[in-house]
Amino acid sequence: MNAALEQRRRTEGLVALVVAQIAFGGFPIFVKLSVDGGAGFSPRAIVVWRIVGAALILTLIALLRHRKAFWPARSDWSRLFACSLFGIVVNQICAVEGTSRTRAIHAAMLFTTIPIFTYAVALVARQERMSLRRASGIVLALAGAMLLVLGRFDEVGGEPASAPVFGGFLIVVNCLSYAVFLVIARPLLARLPTLVVLMWAFLLSLWIVPVLVYWNGGTPLWLPEASTRALVGMVSIVLVSTILGYLINTYALARVSASTTAVFVYVQPLFAIVAAWLVLGEGVGLDVVLSAALLFSGIALVVRRVDRRAA
């Protein structure tokens, strides 16, 4: 590959990374719009449409692009089901339910703990080695996360409100579950196209749909009388934060290094903070500033690569 073509691919990858992080970073805002203060869709309905919509569209794309690799080997099915359980079912339910119970800004900040939990799970699975630097990063990042989960909100609309601990806890569980998914999926991604792995993860999650419908307590999954805010939020979750986010991120991963990708985890909360302020009127308090300092410092220690050749 000549230098010009390689530079072009890298530039395309960087642009795609920015777009992907904005798509993912918009997720907490889209959830808030979809729920619309209780006047819109329920969190269970959001999860149903996200799983069903992504499963259908990703299957169509996978059939067009990876027909020969569409059916995995028999030995891969148990691992694919585990991916669907941790990466989609638990992850999606906890992410939406948790975000609906807390501020969009707090949710976006907590989502940045995924690299921290991924490293911790990889340690347990013996895919990574422990180091003092990364261990310190885990401690710092978790301290920042706990500050958000157990802290207090600043005034919202003139009225002080306590931070919903359960919502923050659900988001932490979501991040841990997704980290387990990333570690479990690593061997599959080494021999199968990423799109195929994602597609089967969503398809094998469809069993949870009737459970969520029952859990919804008879409330319709689709509300024709829903507000424009709720409709825009729901469509954006499925098309932007799920399908576009996954596809663009996959496109970017093929063009830039893993270390470069890790740096872009900082874009999500920064975009979410600005969007939450402009769209939802959420302010940034001292708790967000302190937790951001701890989270970003911890993430930097965990994802930073040390160039041993410089010694």
Mean pLDDT of 53-59: 92
pTM of the predicted model as reported, rounded to 2 decimal places: 0.82
Which residues, 6+ apart, have CB-to-CB distance to 112 below 8 Å? 141, 265, 266, 268, 269, 295, 296, 299
CB–CB of 116/142 below 8 Å? yes
Chain length of the chain? 311
Q: Which tops the pLDDT comparison, 152 or 299?
A: 299
pLDDT confidence of residue 267: 76
Domain that holds residue 110: 3-310
- Chain segment 248-269, per-residue pLDDT in tens: 876 776 666 655 665 676 777 8
Give per-residue burial for 36-45: e unless 16+ CB within 10 Å, then b.
beeebbbbbb
Residue at 300: amino acid letter: A
Question: How many independent structural domains does the chain possess?
Answer: 1
Which has the closest alpha carbon to 240: 50, 43, 33?
Answer: 50
Q: Which tops the pLDDT comparison, 158 or 86?
A: 86
- Chain segment 211-258, per-residue pLDDT in tens: 998 887 777 777 777 788 889 999 999 999 888 887 887 677 666 665
Asked whether the predicted pLDDT for residue 131 surpasses 60, the reply is: yes
